[in-house]
Amino acid sequence: MTIDYDAKMPESQEGTEVYNVDPLIVKSTYSIDYIHSYAQDSEFFRALGKRKLMGSKCKKCGYTYATPRSHCMMCGSETEWFQLPNKGRIHTFTTCYFGSEQFLSQTPFHLVMVEFDGVDSLFLGRLIGADTEDLRIGMPVVARFKRLQSFSPTDVYFVPARE
């Protein structure tokens, strides 16, 4: 038993950034590394490294998804992987001049939703190699794959396809 009547908490010189005093507004920081599992979607990300775009096909009703999901939204059954064609068409597009903080430095960039022949749903991707004025709905595009993977859906991107 040691009782110290003069005990003192140690001081820190870290301090706090203050933006305003009335009301008192201070800086507070929060960051975290997640151990994110792609779980049942893993195959899609692995396949990008083999320059393959993988979608899902329902084993029961045959509905096909350009963005994979392991169970069918139409009938609830399990789906299986199938390879999508590399060539598709622009279903719609935009050019982002602003964005989330994480992507702000990449602006401006084009987003396209791509439709593939015979596939019931769409795929969201980035497109390069054209200006906004060049983009039109129905324009043929082709998937390209990054050589060095970051295991993100941006490992695949689209460019205009020669018609």
Partner 1 sequence: MNTRRLMKHKGRNVYMISGGVTKFAKASPDMDFRLRVKKAFDYALNDINLSLDQIDGSVASYFSDHFQRQLMSGIMVQDYLGLTPKPSKRVEGGGATGGLAFQTGYEEIASGRMDVCAVYGFETMSHVNTWKGNEFIALASDTNFDYPVGGFYTGYYAMMAVRHMHEFGTTVEQMAKVSVKNHGNAMHNPYSQSPMKLTVEDVRKSPMVAYPLTRLDVCTMSDGAAVAILASEEKAFQLCEKPVLVKSIGTGTDTMRLADRPFGKVPLLPNESQSDYKNLKYPGIHSFRAGRMAAKEAYEGAGITDPLEELDVVELHDAYTSSEIQTYEDLGLCKYGEGGAFIDEGKSSLKGKVPVNPSGGLLASGHPVGATGIMQAVFMHWQLQGSIKKHFKNDALQVHNAKTGLIHSHAGTGTYVTVTIMEAV
Q: Is 2 in the site for partner 1 (CB under 8 A)?
A: no
Q: Is 122 in the site for partner 1 (CB under 8 A)?
A: yes
Residue at token pair 């003069």:
6
Q: In this chain, which of 51, 69, 89, 144 binds partner 1, going by CB under 8 A?
A: 69
Q: Is 152 in the site for partner 1 (CB under 8 A)?
A: yes
* Closer by beta carbon to partner 1, 13 or else 158: 158
User: What's the full length of the chain, in residues?
Assistant: 163
Q: In this chain, which of 77, 83, 149, 154 binds partner 1, going by CB under 8 A?
A: 154
* Measured distance CA(104)–CA(91) in Å, rounded: 25
Which one-letter amino acid corresponds to residue 13? Q
Q: Is 123 in the site for partner 1 (CB under 8 A)?
A: yes
Which one-letter amino acid corresponds to residue 23? P
Q: Is 77 in the site for partner 1 (CB under 8 A)?
A: no
Beta bridge partners of 56: 65, 81
Q: Strand 109-115 vs strand 123-127: parallel, antiparallel, or unpaired?
A: antiparallel
Of the candidate spans 46-54, 76-84, 102-110, 141-149, the one that interacts with partner 1 by CB under 8 A turns out to be: 102-110
In eight-state DSSP terms, residue 10 is: P
* Measured distance CA(106)–CA(7) in Å, rounded: 53
Of the candidate spans 8-16, 77-85, 95-103, 140-148, the one that interacts with partner 1 by CB under 8 A turns out to be: 95-103
